[in-house]
């Protein structure tokens, strides 16, 4: 039977646990999550195990990255199942602070991110988001002081923002990206997929299919405008409200005029019913 992870809910207990884990200079990888763990998160834990001797997973539903109209209150919380999954993976430590510890009433600081955080993708539709993510990730990094941190390519812009921030602020953490884990029908796994009705769930894989078709058109020599118009057409035809479908430079996320200006990445965000889904593929 694998051993259950140490669970820390206060900074002194976190630091005691880390002192134990770091014995004989063992390296530590951190996997930041908001819980409601699925196979995508578990793939991050497995990559973390390959990159460091010890694995810490944080579970914290970060209020500062949700806008008032977003789903903070209803975000799925599945603590027991999460711990069972992390135990099965041999996770060493779970860091589970509460909102009062992370943001006491007199909390007054926020990390401002630019570069990949201001490229008119997620930031256009969720203006609060990256400031909240950067602030909580900076706190998690300084609390845990990991050698490595694993983030999913599922949130591609977030991965770029966090990578840039870790470098810019000399946080001493190597940020590593992990490939997207998908359901059998191609839908990118997400904690928010539980919001989908049966009908919406049946439609949802259209998003990945459209990304793949658009990438193929581009590789076959279609112009960006033609390929993106066809992709957007199939997404809206399936009943999604499209926020964006764009081809961007895979490193900087800057707009590109042609895939020859790449490496290129296709990124999409669209709403089906009240659920907003994001996905991306390389071209």
Provide the binding-site residues for ligand AMP, judged by CB under 6 A.
Answer: 33-34, 40-41, 43-44, 151-152, 154-155, 178, 180-181, 188-191
CB of 178 to ligand AMP, least distance (A): 5
Instruction: Compute the distance between CA of residue 27 and CA of residue 42 in angstroms, rounded to an integer.
Output: 19
Quote the least distance from Cβ 218 to ligand AMP, whole Å.
23
Q: Nearer to ligand AMP by C-beta: 41 or 126?
A: 41
Question: Which lies closer to ligand AMP via its Cβ, residue 132 or residue 152?
Answer: 152
Given the complex with ligand AMP, which of 44 and 270 has the nearer CB atom? 44
Q: In the sheet where 28-33 sits, what is the strand order?
A: 6-8, 93-95, 54-59, 28-33, 148-152, 174-178
Q: Does residue 15 have an active-site annotation?
A: no
Among candidate residues 38, 41, 96, 249, the one labeled active-site is 41
- Is the separation of the CB atoms in 100 and 61 below 8 Å? no
Give me the least distance between CB of 230 and ligand AMP, in Å please: 25
Nearer to ligand AMP, 224 or 253 (CB): 253
> What is the closest distance, in whole angstroms, from the C-beta atom of residue 9 to ligand AMP in the complex?
18
Tell me how far the alpha carbon of residue 153 is from its chain's centroid. 7
Tell me if 213 sits within 8 A of 230, measured CB to CB.
yes
| Apex 150 CA angle, 129 and 178, nearest 5 | 95
Q: Which is nearer to ligand AMP, 50 or 219 (CB)?
A: 50
Residue 115 has a CB neighbour count (10 Å cut-off) of 14
Min separation Cβ 159 and ligand AMP, Å: 7
CB 210 within 8 A of CB 245: yes
Q: Which residues contact 150 (CB under 8 A, 6 or more apart)?
A: 29, 30, 31, 44, 45, 47, 48, 51, 176, 177, 178
**Cβ atoms of residues 120 and 145 within 8 Å:** no
Are residues 92 and 6 in contact, defined by beta-carbon separation less than 8 angstroms? yes
Lookup: tokens for 31: 């996997």
Active site residues: 41
């Amino acid at each position: 039977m694998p051993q259950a992870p140490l669970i820390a809910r206060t900074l002194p207990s976190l630091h005691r646990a880390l002192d134990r884990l770091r014995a004989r200079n063992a390296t530590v990888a951190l996997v930041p999550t908001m819980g409601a763990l699925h196979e995508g998160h578990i793939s991050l834990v497995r990559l973390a195990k390959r990159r460091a001797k010890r694995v810490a997973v944080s579970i914290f539903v970060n209020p500062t990255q949700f806008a008032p109209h977003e789903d903070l209150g209803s975000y799925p919380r599945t603590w027991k199942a999460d711990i069972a999954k992390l135990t099965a993976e041999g996770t060493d430590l779970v860091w589970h602070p509460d909102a009062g510890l992370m943001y006491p009433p007199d909390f007054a600081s926020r990390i401002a991110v630019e570069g990949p955080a201001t490229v008119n993708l997620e930031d256009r539709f969720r203006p609060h988001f990256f400031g909240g993510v950067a602030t909580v990730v900076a706190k998690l990094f300084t609390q845990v002081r990991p050698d490595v941190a694993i983030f999913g390519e599922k949130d591609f812009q977030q991965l770029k923002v966090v990578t840039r921030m870790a470098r810019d602020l000399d946080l001493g953490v190597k940020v590593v990206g992990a490939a997207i884990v998908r359901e059998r029908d191609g839908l990118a796994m997400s904690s928010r997929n539980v919001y989908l009705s049966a009908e919406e769930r049946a439609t949802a894989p259209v998003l990945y299919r459209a990304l793949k078709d658009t990438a193929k058109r581009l590789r076959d020599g279609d112009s960006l405008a033609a390929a993106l118009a066809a992709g957007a057409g199939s997404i809206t035809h399936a009943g999604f409200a499209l926020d964006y479908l764009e081809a961007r430079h895979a490193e900087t996320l800057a707009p590109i005029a042609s895939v020859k200006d790449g490496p290129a990445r296709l990124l999409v965000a669209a709403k089906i019913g009240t659920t907003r889904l994001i996905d991306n593929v390389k071209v």
